[in-house]
Amino acid sequence: MSDERPAGVIALSALCAIVGVACISFAALLMVGHVPLSSGAFLLGRGLEQLGPAAFLLYATIMLVLALALWRRWRWARRAAILVALIGIAMAVPALSSAVTDSRTLGILREGLQIILRVAIVYYLSQEPVKQWFAKR
């Protein structure tokens, strides 16, 4: 693989940055009282939104640092992104199970898509050309 940044790394870095900015925006809206905590469940999910603005700011920090690390080709970034995706998969499974049990179609779709996206991220970052690209730094 050349030194050119792979399109998948660009997309993943952009996705992390977008999620980070969304979390910061949501935390700001929470602090001024414009939105209820439950409306942020799609960002953090699994009850973590109940921890308040601090949880959103912490997750935003993680996502923005990860976006920068992926963009800058820091060696640990690939493994960190895989870890974040795997944790997200583990957290989405109970929510998917609950949605299936309650026959909530939107919940099944939302959690299922999150699992599929995160599995695709783990698969992509585990490919040899991507590993080599991060190792070249």
pLDDT digit string, tens, across residues 17-28: 999 999 999 999
The model's pLDDT over 3-62, given as tens digits with 9 standing for 90+, comes to 889 999 999 999 999 999 999 999 999 899 888 877 777 787 777 777 888 899 999 999
Answer for the pair 45, 81: CB distance below 8 angstroms, yes or no: no
Answer for the pair 124, 8: CB distance below 8 angstroms, yes or no: yes
Q: Is the pTM of this model over 0.85?
A: yes
* Mean pLDDT on 76-87: 96
Answer for the pair 95, 111: CB distance below 8 angstroms, yes or no: yes
Dist CA 18 CA 31 (whole Å):
20
The whole-chain average pLDDT of the chain stands at 90
